[in-house]
Amino acid sequence: MLISGVQKFTMLDYPEKVATIIFTPGCNMRCRFCHNKEFVLPEEIKKIEPSFISEKAVLNFLKSRQNKLDGVVISGGEPTVQPDLKQFIQKVREMDFLVKLDTNGNLPDVLKDLIQNGLVDYVAMDVKTTLEEYPRLVGDLVNTKNIKESINFLKKRSVPYEFRTTVIDDVHTTAIIKEMAKLLKDSDKLYLQKFRPETTLHPEFENKKPLPDKKMQEFIKIFKKENIKEVDIRQ
C-alpha cells in the first residue's frame, strides 16, 4: 500500500486510545478548502513520492510498538482509494491493533466490506455539506448517492463511528446546517471543526474566516434538535 507519511504517536485522533496515524496519498474529492493538496493532487503527490514510506518499514515499526500502542488510524488523502487497503489492514490486525478509518464516504462498498469483515473498529466520516451542495464544494468526482449510503450504513451502528464537519463562514449558512441536521438525524456523534485559513486547494478559501463561537453554539443546537446524541466542537 502507498504510504505518504506516519505520525508515530497520537492521543487525540483515536478516541480514548493511544495510536499511530498512517497517511495514504490520493483522493476522490477535490475539496476547495482542503489544506493537504500534497496528498490530493496527482502533480503534488508526484513531488513527494520519493519520501513515501515502504509498507514493510511501517509494518516493522508497528511490530516494534506492540503492547505499547492500542491502535492504528488510517487517514489520507482518502484511504479507500488504495486498492490493497484491505490486505494492509489484515496485516495490521494480525498484530492485534485496533483500526480506525478516516474516510469521506465516497466509496461505500469499500467501507461496508471492511466493516462487515471485522477489519475496522471505529470510523470517522467527514460530512462536508448538504447533498445538493456537495459538488460545488468538493468537485464533480463525488457521488452524492454514495455519501448518503455511507451515512445510513454507519447509522446502523455496526461499529462505533463519528461524523465530522469543518464549518466555514459564508459556506455553512443556517439553512445549510438545518439540511445537514436532517441528513444526519439520529446519529451517534458529530464533531464540528472550525475552519482555519491556510493554504487551500482553491485560493478563495484562504481568505475565509473561522466561525465565531456564538454561531458554532447555535449550530450545535440545530443538530441536537434532530436527535444527534452527541454534538461538540473539536478544536
Residue 109 has pLDDT above 90, yes or no: yes
Asked, for residue 40, whether it belongs to a domain, the answer is: yes
Asked, for residue 181, whether it belongs to a domain, the answer is: no
Residue 36 has pLDDT above 90, yes or no: no
CATH number of the domain that residue 134 is part of: 3.20.20.70
Cβ distance 122 to 161 under 8 Å?
yes
Mean pLDDT, residues 215-231: 97
C-alpha cell at 114: 471492511
One-letter-per-residue 3-state SS of 28-67:
CCCCCCCCCHHHCCHHHHHHHHHHCECHHHHHHHHHHCCC
- Structural domain harbouring 137: 5-167
Our count of domains for the chain comes to: 1
Mean pLDDT, residues 153-163: 95
Asked, for residue 226, whether it belongs to a domain, the answer is: no
Asked, for residue 13, whether it belongs to a domain, the answer is: yes
Asked which of 22-31, 100-109, 202-211 is least confident by mean pLDDT, the reply is 202-211
For residue 177, the surrounding DSSP H or E stretch is helix 174-183
pLDDT in tens, 80-89: 999 999 999 9
Cβ distance 76 to 37 under 8 Å?
no
